[in-house]
Each structure stands twice: as C-alpha cells, then as structure tokens.
Chains A and B, each alone.
Chain A
C-alpha cells in the first residue's frame, strides 16, 4: 500500500476535480483523474514531496478541471453534429463576458429561426389553411403560424404545400450555416489564442 492510495486529501482533491469536469465524456474524465492520481503518487513517493505540496503543484482542482473541460468541449464541438455540443464549445471560445453573451445570443437566434421554420412545416399538416406565406397588397410578405387573424383579408397564400419542403430546407440551411460558423469561430479562437494548432481533420467525428 503506498502513501497516496486512498489518502483523504488526494481523494478529496480528485473528487472536486472530477465534479468540475461535468459535461466531459465519462471516459475522458476518468482518464484525467487516473493520470492526476499517478502524477501525485510519482511526485510524493518518487521525489519525496509531501502530499499537500504535490497537490499544490497542480493548483486549484476546479481551475485545473476547467482547463480540461474547456479544451475537451472545444475540440469535440469542432467535429460534432450536435447543436448542444457546439454551443458548449462556443461558450469557451470567446473572451470576456460580453463576447460570450454575444456569441451565445447569435447562435441561439439562428436556432430559433430553425425552430420556427420547422414548426411551420409541421404545423402545415395540422392547420393547412392557417399556415403559409401570405401576400397582402400594400403589406409585406409574412410567414405565419396559426393565429386567429389568418388568413388575412384580401391576402393571397403563395406557396401552398411547397411551404413544407421550402421551410424544411431553409431551416436545415440556417442550422448548417449557424453550426459551421460556430465551429469555424472555435477553430479560429483556438488557433489565434494559442489554444491549439489548426489542423485539418476531426477525430472521431464527421
């Protein structure tokens, strides 16, 4: 039995780091904890460091975990097809609070549009006469979901059932552009701020 095995201070440190790595894939987080445990053991037993000194050399466990988590989420976001994963990565790829809020707001705005378009396509099957792209002379075009004023007086619906494929396609296009723009931003951020060299492939992703 060595000095670090089941040492309460080591276990407490690793537990705090592990908790702060939430959002990372389980296997990645476990690997990090295992490596930190190995480092602490090496430092204390091989080089004669006190346990506390070994832990201090790693710094605050939450801050350390944040570095792993930020990097892990950005790397996965660059290759992921999941909007949530990309969003998590995007939050780390901005400097300062205002940058984070702006990037998040733009990303969410893109997906609100996707949601609206796809909702309209779906709703068309349940209320075909109340969902459409209307033109009323003297007014602007409007894509309208169900409400009590539809169809508008004197209005002419322009697309009919073509609205369904058009809304699905446009929604997909906005989703694609929003996601790709966010991934490009993350890659650029990592390259520019020394968070990693820009390399032209994704690991374990499309």
Chain B
C-alpha cells in the first residue's frame, strides 16, 4: 500500500489495480477501503475529494508521518528478505543448476 502511494496520490480502485498488476496481490475492496480509512485516521494517509468527469473520487496520499513509516517498513522488509535469501541460497543454487 505504502509502495503504491509512494510516488503520488491514487484513489481506491487505482490502488487495487496497482497492487494486482504490479505485485499480484489481489486485495478485495472490503479489505482495502476499511484499511485506507484506518491509515487515514492514524495520520499516515491524507485524502481529498476530486471531481473527475462529473464523478467525485477520493484520492489518498502519504503524509510525512506515512512516508517515515513507509521507509521504516521498507528497511524491515529489506532485512527480512535478505535473511530469507540467505536461508534459501542452497536451494536456489540447486534450482539454478
């Protein structure tokens, strides 16, 4: 979610489509929308309503707190994936042969 919103604002359906196309993460609308509301209440996201083609859309973007949290989580993920890669390296070598 933070990765999707890192480069700019998106509305709910765009976030769902981005997660689906860029990461194969299929998140349902009934999970995504309450999650967005929560992150907004916690001050990690901010939102604004924008009228596009006669239709209101609620766009989300990361706040400065959200950006700090995103960096923090990216660091954690980086450490975690490095550990996993170490653990899997004998297997991966075997697969590469």
Q: Give chain B interface residues in 57-89, CB to chain A under 8 Å.
A: 57-58, 65, 69
Question: A68-B37, A71-B37, A71-B38 are known contacts. Are A39 and B43 too (CB-CB below 8 A)?
Answer: no
Residues of the A chain whose Cβ atoms lie less than 8 Å from the Cβ of B58: 34-35, 38
How many B residues have CB within 8 A of the partner chain? 22
A41 with B55: CB separation less than 8 A: yes
Which of A59, A72, A201 meets B37, CB within 8 Å? Answer: A72
- What's the least CB distance linking B63 to chain A, in Å? 11
A71 touches B41 (CB 8 A): yes
Which chain B residue lies CB-closest to A41?
Answer: B55
C-alpha gap A52/B93 in the complex (Å): 49
Q: Which of A58-92 contact B (CB under 8 A)?
A: 58-59, 63-64, 67-68, 71-72, 75
- With A and B bound together, what is the CA distance between A32 and B58 in angstroms? 10
Contact check, A59 vs B41: say whether CB atoms are below 8 A apart.
no
Interface positions of A from 32 to 47, Cβ below 8 Å from B: 32, 34-36, 38-39, 41-43, 45-46
Q: Is the CB of B43 within 8 A of A199?
A: yes
Q: Which residue of B lies closest to A63 (CB)?
A: B30
| Contact yes or no, A203 B41, CB < 8 A | yes
Task: State whether the Cβ of A196 lies closer than 8 Å to any Cβ in chain B.
Answer: yes
Q: Tell me if B56 counts as interface (CB < 8 A to partner A).
A: yes
Judging by beta carbons under 8 Å apart, are B43 and A38 in contact? no
* B28 within 8 Å of A (CB atoms): yes
**Do B42 and A39 touch (CB < 8 A)?**
no
Would you call A39 and B12 a contact (CB within 8 A)? yes
Chain A's closest residue to B39 (CB) is A196
A197 part of interface (Cβ distance < 8 Å)? yes
CB distance B12 to A71 under 8 Å?
A: no
Q: Chain A residues with Cβ under 8 A from B33's Cβ?
A: 32, 35-36, 39, 58, 64, 68
A71 to nearest B CB, angstroms? 5
Q: For B43, list chain A residues within 8 Å (CB).
A: 199, 201, 203
Bound Cα distance A68, B36 (Å): 10
Per the bound structure, the CA–CA distance linking A47 and B1 in Å amounts to 22
B41: A residues at CB distance < 8 A: 71-72, 75, 203
Contacts of A67 in B (CB 8 A): 30, 34
Bound CA span A32–B57, Å: 12
Q: For window 64-123 of chain A, which residues contact chain B by CB distance below 8 Å? A: 64, 67-68, 71-72, 75
Chain B, range 33-57, C-beta contacts under 8 Å to A: 33-34, 37-38, 41-44, 49, 54-57
Q: Is residue A27 within 8 Å, beta carbon to beta carbon, of the partner chain?
A: no
Chain B interface residues (CB < 8 Å from chain A): 11-13, 28-30, 33-34, 37-38, 41-44, 49, 54-58, 65, 69
Q: With A72-B41, A199-B65, A203-B41 given, can you name 13 additional A-B contacts, CB distance below 8 Å?
A: A32-B37, A35-B58, A38-B56, A58-B33, A59-B29, A64-B30, A64-B34, A68-B34, A71-B37, A71-B38, A75-B42, A199-B43, A201-B43
